[in-house]
Amino acid sequence: MTAVKPASRREPAGPALDAQRMQAAAHQASAVLGVLANENRLVLMCQLSQGERSVAQLEAALQIRQPTLSQQLAVLRAERLVRTRREGRNIFYSVADPRVMAVLETLYALYCPKPRPQPASRRAPAPHRSHDGADPV
């Protein structure tokens, strides 16, 4: 009869993580994810991940009514996820934290629709040329 070896315990690959630092990082991450859990704020942040936008540009691109847009931008400002820049009467918004940008880029890559290539059968036909190579009239 062969002896059964007890299951070996795996040693962690790296040094143990500091529990307090992990807890603080988890708190920060869950705060960001909580703010992004609102669909309006998420689409706002996705739009801003593509570059700085004015309030008017955001309103037109997202078709979010101005009162809702202002309310959501106020939340994003309060949570310091966006920075603002004033130019005359216009206020421009951009993503403030590179870590948040990394989260947005990951979400964008996983969930945002990508343009589909148009099938060959639906493409516009090439213009016909006459035998001498001249364009048709």
Evaluate if pTM is beyond 0.85. Answer: no
Q: Are strands 53-54 and 82-87 parallel, antiparallel or unpaired?
A: unpaired
HSE at residue 35, side-chain half, CA atoms within 13 A, is 23
Per-residue pLDDT of the chain (137 residues; tens, 9 = 90+): 555 665 556 666 667 778 889 999 999 999 999 999 999 999 999 999 999 999 999 999 998 888 999 999 999 999 999 999 999 999 999 999 999 999 999 998 898 877 666 676 555 555 555 555 554 44
CATH number at residue 56: 1.10.10.10
| Residue 31, in any domain of the structure | yes
| Residue 133, in any domain of the structure | no
Count of domains observed in the chain: 1
| Residue 95, in any domain of the structure | yes
| Residue 125, in any domain of the structure | no
| Residue 9, in any domain of the structure | no
Q: Note down the domain range covering 72.
A: 27-110
| Residue 104, in any domain of the structure | yes
| Residue 127, in any domain of the structure | no
